[in-house]
Amino acid sequence: MSKVIKNGTIVTADRTWKGDVLVKHDKIIGIGPDLHGDHEYDATGCYVMPGGIDPHTHLEMPFMGTYSADDFESGTRAALAGGTTMVVDFCLPAPGQSLLEALQMWDNKTSKACADFSFHMAITWWGEQVFNEMATIVDKGITSFKHFMAYKGALMVDDDEMYSSFQRCAALGALPLVHAENGDVVAQLQQKLLAEGNNGPEAHAYSRPPEVEGEATNRAIMIADMAGAPLYVVHVSCEQAHEAIRRARQKGMRVFGEPLVQHLTLDETEYMNKDWDHAARRVMSPPFRNKLHQDSLWAGLQAGSLQVVATDHCSFTTEQKRFGVGDFTKIPNGTGGLEDRMPVLWTRGVNTGRLTMNEFVAVTSTNIAKILNMYPKKGAIVEGADADIVVWDPKRKKTISAKNQQSVIDYNVFEGFEVTGLPRFVLSRGELVIQESSVQAQPGHGEFVAREPNAAVNRALSKWKEVVAPRKVERTGIPAGV
């Protein structure tokens, strides 16, 4: 059966034009005027865009003594409801655990995924086994490796391990990612604050100032450059980190930066709320920042020094957040946002003139597909692409509320936000999964998306590093005795 999306305006990362989109099975097979199919979806007054891709989620993630509350079923259902048709989650081996064993564990969680997904593999320890298994992981279509520079005593790796892993990434044509915060400094600041009786959620923000993020971002950039690898910095939250990325890019380094929709729209005053639950529900790393940092992130998206917008969706219930009453270091770190990323970014970005519609598509979908090397299968409205399509109604409105969200948690950090711009229809590989507020997502429909190594950026960078590699000078006049 074929389907046609009729009378809409197609918006991609580089063009806006009137046209119909014809879908057969799971692919786009035609784009043009006056197309016909067995079933028609009316897109009058709407924008037809590639489905969103969230490059950063933690579904059913074991973390800080518990598991994040949304699993692959509720998480991907939330994603689809907000126009996101693919997520990239993090596989986290325990220190000492085989990467392949961890991947099997993560794969076991995905049987009820409603939307397509891929993985980043975390490097949480280093050794010959990890070195060897990284090649097998790449062969399985996982071509990005995450490094935590924070969470000391748990997921954190040191510079030595990072440099080894980045070199391995360069050799395998893979992309290293970093969570950039100086974990040693954070650990000491946490202990100092607790010793001074500063044990509330606001102390979480005090323990992770922008400087610790800026320092770690600079360090990761330098280590990646030494190793000859590109670099992707997750959840860039502040000017210090953005400045490091901007400067590196101006020097020709291949560095990508990912702000979160939360950091773009929520600020540090959330942690000063008199209600402990309100503040704790917003505890995540890095913490929310002030308006100057937010302006820097928006400017980065406009200027192209930051390329993608994610959520880092890692949701915990209020009950889970309360593990940290009396000790902020025990509040599980993480916030939700999968259902809200696209409507909030559209409302605060496109509707204010901070982003063009094409920039919106670039940062929510196309740039991500390109950086993670799955373009144009994903992130594109072209013949042959997967039919992951959102028909976006710029006039549909709602007030965000936990009462009618897909996520299983009991609150929403965007509670009360009024958004204008929501999906009318969402297709996931050709299947209708969302029709306005009716969610028809099917558990088990989501498939793993394998990615190829050696993206264009890796190829160019390795060529360049070969050109400028240190070379021994062949000398003629050699002094005696040397």
Contact flag: residue 424 with ligand URP (CB under 6 A): no
Q: Which of 54, 71, 215, 312 binds ligand URP (CB under 6 A)?
A: 312
Q: Does 1 bind Zn ion (CB under 5 A)?
A: yes
Query: What tokens were used for 5?
Result: 């999306």
| Min CB(206)–Zn ion separation in Å | 18
In the complex, minimum distance from the CB of residue 313 to ligand URP, in angstroms, rounded to a whole number:
9
Query: Rounded to an integer, what distance in angstroms lies between the CA atom of residue 123 and that of residue 103?
Result: 12
Residue 431's φ and ψ, nearest 5 degrees, are -90, 135
Nearer to Zn ion, 258 or 393 (CB): 258
Inter-residue contact 48 to 5 (CB < 8 Å): yes
Q: Which of 334, 421, 430, 453 binds ligand URP (CB under 6 A)?
A: 334
Contact predicate 138/169, CB 8 Å: no
Among 118-126, 178-186, 242-250, 396-404, the segment contacting Zn ion (CB under 5 A): 178-186
The stretch among 12-20, 179-187, 440-448, 454-462 that binds Zn ion (CB under 5 A) is 179-187
Contact between 333 and ligand URP per CB under 6 A: yes
User: Parallel, antiparallel, or unpaired for β 27-32 and 389-399?
Assistant: unpaired
CB distance 335 to 312 below 8 Å: yes
By the rule CB under 6 A, 58 interacts with ligand URP: yes
- Dump the DSSP string for 294-322: HHHHHHHHHHTSS---B--B----HHHHG
| Window 22-61: contact mask with Zn ion (x via CB under 5 A) | ---x------------------------------------
Q: Is residue 374 close enough to count as binding ligand URP by CB under 6 A? A: no
For the bound state, the minimum distance from the C-beta of residue 71 to ligand URP, rounded and expressed in Å, comes to 15
Size of the site for ligand URP (CB under 6 A): 8
287/200 Cα distance (integer angstroms): 14
Q: Which does 156 bind (CB under 5 to 8 A by kind): Zn ion, ligand URP, none?
A: none
282 binds Zn ion (CB under 5 A): no
CB closer to ligand URP, 58 vs 289:
58
The reply on whether position 179 binds ligand URP by CB under 6 A is yes
Check the CA dihedral 412-413-419-421 and report its sign.
negative
The C-alpha atoms of residue 120 and residue 145 are separated, in whole angstroms, by: 6
Q: Which residue is at the shortest CB distance from ligand URP?
A: 333
Residue 1 interacting partner from Zn ion, ligand URP, none (CB closer than 5 to 8 Å by kind): Zn ion
- What is the residue type of 204? H
Contacting Zn ion (CB under 5 A), which of 3, 179, 246, 254? 179
What is the three-state SS of 47-84? EEEECEEEEEECCCCEECCEECCCCHHHHHHHHHHCCE
Residue 259: partners with Cβ closer than 8 Å, 6 or more residues away: 235, 236, 237, 297, 300, 301, 306, 309, 310
First to last CA, the chain: 79
Interacting residues with ligand URP (CB under 6 A): 58, 179, 284-285, 312, 314, 333-334
